[in-house]
Amino acid sequence: MAHHYRYSPRMSTFLVECEASTWRRAGLDGMTDEQSRACCERVFRKDLGENALVSNRSIWRNFPLLTNDIWFIGNTVLIGDALRSGHFSIGSGTRLAMDDAIALARAFQETGDDVPQALAQFERQRRPVVEKLVAAANLSSYWYERLSEKMALDPWQLAYDYMTRSGRMTPERLRQEAPRFMRAMEARL
């Protein structure tokens, strides 16, 4: 499976995900970076078209789910990926970092030069928001870890399961945003 998202008019990040058993069976565990890139180009040829993958110190690894209970020490504060990871499948990593920076700046605007007060206010305001998004990201991550089990679902069931994987898309919200899909799904039930 691939996740890809554009970061410039001509380039996109392209993340490939597979189970460890698939990774070993494909021989990816013994390939060089160049061989691995070529293998992924073959697997995703239909999606890539004539475009080649560009390696950027590409490595295979387990995505780390990181959190920190302590957000700051003294006048040093963690934000963005230094504070916590958000699984890429919900696409909020950059947004979380930017929102952290904005909230930190606002906290200083409101408290002035009182660093401890500003940092405490930053954490008080951001922690509930961050915890909610990180929980959704973790649920999405766990969904992908069970993807092989889900391949037995009918396509409409898989689509519904995928759309509701993080808990951010509720059945009620999906009914509002995709009424035809929900009517068809409910008719099948």
Distance separating alpha carbons of residues 58 and 73, to the nearest angstrom: 33
Confidence grade of residue 67 (pLDDT, cut at 50, 70, 90)? confident
CA 122 to chain centre: 23
User: Mean per-residue pLDDT for 32-54?
Assistant: 94
The predicted structure's pLDDT at residue 66: 84
Query: How many Cβ atoms from other residues are within 10 Å of residue 153's Cβ?
Result: 13
Distance separating alpha carbons of residues 141 and 183, to the nearest angstrom: 28
Helix (H, G, I), strand (E, B) or coil at 6: strand
Confidence grade of residue 128 (pLDDT, cut at 50, 70, 90)? very high
**Does pLDDT of 91 surpass 70?**
no
Confidence grade of residue 96 (pLDDT, cut at 50, 70, 90)? confident
Beta pairing partners, 3: 15
What is the percent of the chain where pLDDT is above 70? Answer: 99
Beta pairing partners, 49: none
CA atoms within 13 A on the CB side of 46: 3
Q: CA-CA-CA-CA torsion for 101, 103, 104, 109, nearest 10 degrees? A: 130
What is the percent of the chain where pLDDT is above 90? Answer: 58
- 8 A C-beta contact, residue 33 and residue 55: yes
User: Mean per-residue pLDDT for 64-93?
Assistant: 85
Beta pairing partners, 14: 4
The predicted structure's pLDDT at residue 46: 95
The predicted structure's pLDDT at residue 138: 87
